Amino acid sequence: MVSVAIMGHGVVGSGVAEILLTHKQKLFASLGEEIYIKKILDLREFPDSPIADRFTKDFEEIINDLEIRVVVEVMGGLNPAYDYVKRCLKAGKSVATSNKELVAAHGAELLAIAKEENVNFMFEASVGGGIPIIRPMNQCLVANNVGEVAGILNGTTNFILTKMIEDGMQFADALKLAQDLGFAERNPAADIEGHDACRKICILASLAYGRHVYPDSVHTEGITDITLNDVKLAKEFGYVIKLIGKVKKLSDGSLDILTAPMLVPLNSQLSSIDYEFNGIMVRGDCTGDVVFYGKGAGKLPTASAVVADIVDCCKHLKARRFLFWADGDGSNIIDYKDSVSAMYLRVSGDDAEAKAQKLFGEISTVRSGGELAVITPEIRYGDCQSKCAELRDSGVNVLSVIRIGDI
For the annotated catalytic residues, the residue numbers are 200
Least distance between a second copy and beta carbon 171 (Å): 24
Nearer to a second copy by C-beta: 150 or 356? 150
Task: Identify the DSSP state of 186.
Answer: S
Nearer to a second copy by C-beta: 234 or 311? 311
Task: Identify the DSSP state of 384.
Answer: H
Nearer to a second copy by C-beta: 124 or 221? 124
Least distance between a second copy and beta carbon 279 (Å): 8
Nearest CA among 71, 138, 129 for reference residue 98: 129
- Could you give the string, one character per residue 142-161, with x where binding to a second copy holds by CB under 8 A and - elsewhere? xxxx----------------
- Could you give the string, one character per residue 118-137, with x where binding to a second copy holds by CB under 8 A and - elsewhere? ------x-----xxx--xx-
Under the binding rule (CB under 8 A), the answer on residue 296 touching a second copy is no
**SS3 of residue 270 by DSSP:** helix
Residue 318 and residue 307 in contact, taking contact as beta carbons nearer than 8 Å: no
Q: List binders of a second copy among 28-87 (CB under 8 A).
A: 29-32
Phi then psi for 341, rounded to 5 degrees?
Answer: -160, 165
- Could you give the string, one character per residue 321-350, with x where binding to a second copy holds by CB under 8 A and - elsewhere? -x----------------------------
Q: List binders of a second copy among 206-245 (CB under 8 A).
A: 210
**What are the distances in angstroms from CA 340 to CA 133, 143, 248, 256, 380?**
27, 28, 11, 9, 4
Nearest CA among 340, 294, 334 for reference residue 127: 294
Nearer to a second copy by C-beta: 71 or 308? 308
Under the binding rule (CB under 8 A), the answer on residue 140 touching a second copy is yes
Q: List binders of a second copy among 270-289 (CB under 8 A).
A: 272, 284-289
Amino acid residing at 192: I
**SS3 of residue 315 by DSSP:** helix
Chain mean position to CA 177: 22
Least distance between a second copy and beta carbon 35 (Å): 10
Kind of pairing between the strands at 68-73 and 94-97: parallel
Under the binding rule (CB under 8 A), the answer on residue 264 touching a second copy is no
Residue 299 and residue 11 in contact, taking contact as beta carbons nearer than 8 Å: yes
Least distance between a second copy and beta carbon 72 (Å): 12
Under the binding rule (CB under 8 A), the answer on residue 313 touching a second copy is no
Nearer to a second copy by C-beta: 294 or 349? 294
Q: How far apart are CA 258 and CA 278, in angstroms?
A: 17
Residue 9 and residue 40 in contact, taking contact as beta carbons nearer than 8 Å: yes
Under the binding rule (CB under 8 A), the answer on residue 141 touching a second copy is yes
Residue 347 and residue 397 in contact, taking contact as beta carbons nearer than 8 Å: yes
Phi then psi for 397, rounded to 5 degrees?
Answer: -85, 125
Phi then psi for 58, rounded to 5 degrees?
Answer: -120, 110
Q: How far apart are CA 333 and CA 94, in angstroms?
A: 31
Nearer to a second copy by C-beta: 299 or 380? 299
Least distance between a second copy and beta carbon 67 (Å): 22
Under the binding rule (CB under 8 A), the answer on residue 304 touching a second copy is yes
Interface residues toward a second copy, by CB under 8 A: 15, 19, 23, 26-27, 29-32, 124, 130-132, 135-136, 139-145, 210, 269, 272, 284-295, 298, 300-301, 303-305, 307-308, 311-312, 315, 319, 322
